[in-house]
Amino acid sequence: MLREPIENGSIFISRANHQTEFPARFQLIAAMNPCPCGYLGDASERCQCTQSQISRYRNKISGPLLDRIDMHIEVPRIPHQMLREGTQGGEESSLAIAARVQQSLNKSIQRQGYSNHLLSTTGIKQFCQLSDEDHQLLEQAMDKLGLSHRAYHRILRVSRTIADMDGENNILRKHLTEALSYRRMDRRNNQ
């Protein structure tokens, strides 16, 4: 039921002879454990889940829904020491990150009039151009991971945003490869 609102930014409710459209533009942030017990990949090696159990658990998220999520990343467990002591002094503060995000958003609005996540296919062709070599890399990744056209466009939008965050006018290979690295669930589902 989330596919339509994620894709179109609106939802239709039909009752009898009447249909009403409601705005539904939102940012979906979701979390799930890596396996039923939650310990897969953990340094403690406590996971006892079989590959079949892990596959069944992950298949609860449909491919079409997963395809509409821009980024899939793994977040490892935080070491106990970091919980006690906090982060190290050399890390970027939340305020600095928020300022970079705002600059990136402003850059996209100045360039095309709206944020990168709203780029249409035409906008992607205009503002998300890649070098021939980088386009070949993306096509190879698409084939290897079995990605859809929808995922292709999402990867380009994320690449555009990463380039903006980096202060670059053009999408470079490092931006493309970073965007590809955020498609972890695609990689798992095609192994």
> In this model, does residue 165 exceed pLDDT 80?
yes
Backbone angles phi, psi at 61, to 5 degrees: -95, 120
Provide the pLDDT for residue 125. 95
> In this model, does residue 16 exceed pLDDT 60?
yes
Tell me the C-alpha distance between 134 and 129, whole Å.
10
Provide the pLDDT for residue 89. 60
Global pTM value: 0.83
The answer to whether residues 60 and 179 touch, using CB atoms and an 8 Å cutoff, is no
The reply to whether 120 falls in a domain is: yes
Backbone angles phi, psi at 68, to 5 degrees: -90, 0
The reply to whether 75 falls in a domain is: no
The answer to whether residues 172 and 178 touch, using CB atoms and an 8 Å cutoff, is no
Per residue in 49-63, pLDDT tens? Answer: 999 999 999 888 888
Q: In terms of Cα–Cα distance, which of 34, 28, 30, 29 is closest to 74?
A: 34
Q: Is 82 exposed, middle or buried (0-12, 13-18, 19+ CB in 10 A)?
A: exposed
How many CB atoms neighbour CB 38 within 10 A?
13
The answer to whether residues 128 and 170 touch, using CB atoms and an 8 Å cutoff, is no
Provide the pLDDT for residue 90. 64
Q: Kindly state the tokens that stand for 140.
A: 């190879």
The reply to whether 180 falls in a domain is: yes
Q: Is 58 exposed, middle or buried (0-12, 13-18, 19+ CB in 10 A)?
A: middle
Number of folded domains that form the chain: 1
pLDDT band at 81 (very low <50, low <70, confident <90, very high): confident
Per residue in 86-140, pLDDT tens? Answer: 666 667 888 999 999 999 999 999 999 999 999 999 999 999 999 999 999 999 9
Segments forming the whole domain that contains residue 178: 86-191
pLDDT band at 188 (very low <50, low <70, confident <90, very high): low
Provide the pLDDT for residue 108. 96
The reply to whether 152 falls in a domain is: yes
The reply to whether 139 falls in a domain is: yes
> What contacts 24+ positions apart, CB below 8 Å, involve 5-12?
6/65, 6/68, 6/69, 7/68
Provide the pLDDT for residue 185. 80
